[in-house]
Structure 1
Amino acid sequence: MATKSVGLSRTKSFESICKEIHDSWGEKKVLIQVLVGLSHSESREVRETYMKIYGEDFIELCQNFDQALSSLSSLMLSPFERDAVVAREALYQNDSVNYKALIEIFTCRKSSHVLLILQAYLAKYRRPLDLDIASIEPPHPYQKILKALSASHKAHPADISQHIAKCDSRRLYQTGEGNLGAIDEAVVLEIFSKRSISQLKLTFFSYKHIYGHNYTSFLKNEELGEFGGAVRVVAKCICSPAGYYAKTLYGCLKGRTTDKGTMERIMVSRADVDMDEIQRDFKKKYGEELRNAICDSIPEGNYRDFLVALVTKISTC
């Protein structure tokens, strides 16, 4: 279920918001509260208005300050522009590719959104995202899955079919769990490339209905290797995005070192999508409010204020 933004007060114009932002550079907590409270369309208007009034790009200004304000700059981008940046960083920012960040984009976004991401990526980096994924070296099982999912978003029927879901779930069983516990990569990739995310979700639910357990239970078998593990992550993202994100956030906060990059990526991208559901799943699974977990794990300061403001934004909607 999507969540609503707090929104711009009717008593405030974009010019007054820009003035408040301009006057708040020495008060970062105020700046964080103002910017987190804006919707995507309002953020775009504020960025354009700020440029007209002060002749400066607000995003560039934020990126020159600390991590909290640098993170705030991502809120000023449209969701698909932000995901294009995330995809680029996942591919090239570190020594190894961040496949999970890419999988989140291709499984937890609508097809219309993914197509806009592909356009934004091409416009910004002058290369197709598909081509950059295909050129990853060395080859990896996630790479095969990403190529299949990308094809799925580009061409698939809009309607979902219970009949197709039953047929696909039986194919997955017969070429996997029912075939001496093996997994036929070609069959999995074919299904991933020809079905929408909604259709795949129905297929996984159909699998559980027919065989009495989740498809992911079979994929726990370590003998299935990296491909089986990758398919398991994809299936979890498709079947329960909120549950997947709640577990990932818990790992970010309670791991040996706090994974700020992953935590920020999730909270910013899901803030206006399903963060309320993520918080409920987090509380249900771990017995702790997400906000309290953040405060316990992140030192006091602007960055913690930024993350808490994202949570507060949801709770006040």
Structure 2
Amino acid sequence: MATKILPSSSNHGFENECREIHDSWGRLNLNQLVRSLATRSKQERQQIRETYKSMYGEDVTVLLQKMQVPAGSQRDEAKLDQSKLCSALSMWMLDPHERDAIVAREAFEHEGETNFKALAEIFVGRKSSHITLIKQAYHAKFRRHLDQDIINLEPPHAYQKILVALAASHKAHQVDVSQHIAKCDARRLYEAGEGSSGIEEAVLLEILSKRSIPQMRLTFSSYNHIYGHEYTKSLKKGNSKEFEDALKTVIKCMCNPLNYYAKALYTSIKGTTTSDKGALARVMISRAEIDMDGIQKVFKNTYGVELRDAICESIPYGDYRDFVVALITKATTTSSQCP
């Protein structure tokens, strides 16, 4: 039976909330977990997590992880739904920097090959102060250094160079963006790209490593203003096609995040063989409290269907689907749920 999301109540004590969550473990009542957690704000989730630990001496996120079905075990559809839900709920309850640290580590072990898009989303979409917290959480949990893991990737990949540059850019600590620097960098990109025989990776990577993400956005905007088209339109298909394709993806995530995430959700929902199938939960959870409204609008305008409807048509009926749908609008009534 699918979950009916109930409205969150401001006068409902977190102690009672935690008792309900605790009681649901024994009965394996996943409906109750979704009802208790799906519509809670970041601050409320943090308070629930702290209250639960003080009452029962255990971390809710750890308990949720334990409820996942081990990979490789025999799993029917119900157990798969349970495992996906518990994984998503666990990530939802974590602090953002803890969550990103886990996403980064999982990206290195993604079905035998690195999930570069997941790593790019972190380094492009997070503030430098947040990146610092991610690196600290990554080292604390995995006893490894995130930057070094990127550098040591084998075999080498085009994304690797860009990620190394992005990691370095977060050390620039630039507070303000400069229109003058943006114009100068735009001209350098032109002279090292379409103004010559083709893109010079060294120039692009040097600029990328020395500028903050907001500064790079202004640079690409200045390029468009000066030369009458987007920088990515100037990239020529040559010997560095792999690098240029990776660069286009990173720049789209940087400059047009709503379009980027709408496409990531669409390909994940459709489940094409080349898509990042894990993008659905990752994007829904990471963007739910940031720009999900904008992503929904772009999704509808681009693909002609509401994001909620696309999920309901493609994801099997169950608590996991209801949880994902709840993240779209933080629904407070059953009318916003799948029929």
* Aligned sequence identity (%): 57
Describe the shift of the 1:315–1:185 C-alpha distance in structure 2 as closer, same or farther (beyond 3 A). Answer: farther
Corresponding position of 2:314: 297
Residue pairs, 1:1-317, within 5 angstroms: 9-25=9-25, 26-65=28-67, 66=82, 67-180=84-197, 182-219=198-235, 221=237, 223-256=239-272, 260-313=277-330
- String of CA shifts for 1:121-160, please: whole Å, max 9, x gaps: 1111122100111111111121111111111101242110
Of 218-227 and 275-284, more deviation after overlay is shown by 218-227
CA contact (8 A) 1:133 1:143 kept: yes
Secondary structure at the residue paired with 1:146? helix
Describe the shift of the 1:99–1:139 C-alpha distance in structure 2 as closer, same or farther (beyond 3 A). Answer: same
Taking the aligned partners of 1:219 and 1:54, their CA distance within structure 2 comes to 57
Structure 2: gaps of 5 or more residues: 1-5, 68-81, 334-339
Structure 1: gaps of 5 or more residues: 1-5
Matched residues, number:
310
Taking the aligned partners of 1:292 and 1:133, their CA distance within structure 2 comes to 37
CA contact (8 A) 2:284 2:324 kept: yes
Taking the aligned partners of 1:315 and 1:189, their CA distance within structure 2 comes to 46
Q: TM-score, normalised by structure 1?
A: 0.92
Q: CA deviation at 1:314?
A: 7.0
Taking the aligned partners of 1:239 and 1:314, their CA distance within structure 2 comes to 29
2:35 partner letter: Q
Q: CA deviation at 1:244?
A: 0.3
2:269 partner letter: L
Taking the aligned partners of 2:176 and 2:295, their CA distance within structure 1 comes to 27
CA contact (8 A) 2:128 2:173 kept: no
Secondary structure at the residue paired with 2:299? helix
Q: TM-score, normalised by structure 2?
A: 0.86
- String of CA shifts for 1:36-89, please: whole Å, max 9, x gaps: 222223222212211222333222221233221221011111001000000001
Q: How well do the aligned residues superpose, as a CA RMSD in angstroms? A: 2.0
